């Protein structure tokens, strides 16, 4: 059963628009993540967030920004989307920040940029 919830499931927008995706986990976990899955199904880490400490993948463009109100929520905002942002964005959570933590994923938000 799903315990990491993402909205919306799909979003279609035009180049230059701003979009926001929501993620909520009900597992009581301390750490949350955003991954990007491209058209070749490759999964790349974008951000991880733990106890208000943000770890950013240096390859993520500055138009992407995570937003967290509490440890159960981690949203993703994209200012001025580009065609290469078309992908599935997957939110995940883990109990802690350890190296051997299991990740629990949501179903993803599929973004299409026209």
Partner 1 sequence: QQKVQQSPESLSVPEGGMASLNCTSSDRNFQYFWWYRQHSGEGPKALMSIFSDGDKKEGRFTAHLNKASLHVSLHIRDSQPSDSALYFCAASESQGGRALIFGTGTTVSVSP
The DSSP 8-state label assigned to residue 102 in this structure reads P
List the one residue from 67, 107, 112, 114 that touches partner 1 (CB under 8 A).
Answer: 107
Q: What is the full DSSP assignment across 76-101?
A: EEESS--GGG-EEEEEEEESSS-TTP
Interface with partner 1 in residues 48-87 (CB under 8 A): 48, 50, 53, 55
Residue located via tokens 């920040």 = 97
d(CA 65, CA 77): 5
Q: How far is the CB of 83 from partner 1 (least distance, A)?
A: 23
Contact 84, 114 (CB under 8 A): no
Q: Which is nearer to partner 1, 41 or 52 (CB)?
A: 41
Element (H, E) at 70: strand 64-70
Q: How far is the CB of 65 from partner 1 (least distance, A)?
A: 17
105 binds partner 1 (CB under 8 A): yes
99 binds partner 1 (CB under 8 A): yes
| Six token digits for residue 52 | 């208000």
41 binds partner 1 (CB under 8 A): yes
> For binding to partner 1 (CB under 8 A), which residues are involved?
4, 33, 35, 41-45, 48, 50, 53, 55, 90, 92, 97-100, 102-108
């Amino acid at each position: 059963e799903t315990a990491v919830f993402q909205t919306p499931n799909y979003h279609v927008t035009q180049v230059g628009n701003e979009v926001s995706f929501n993620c909520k986990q009900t597992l009581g976990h301390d750490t949350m993540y955003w991954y990007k899955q491209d058209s070749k199904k490759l999964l790349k880490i974008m951000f991880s967030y733990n106890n208000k400490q943000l770890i950013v993948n240096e390859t993520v463009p500055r138009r992407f920004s995570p937003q967290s109100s509490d440890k159960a929520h981690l949203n993703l905002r994209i200012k001025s989307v580009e065609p290469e942002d078309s992908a599935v964005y997957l939110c995940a959570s883990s109990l802690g920040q350890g190296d051997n933590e299991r990740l629990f994923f949501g179903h993803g938000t599929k973004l299409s940029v026209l």
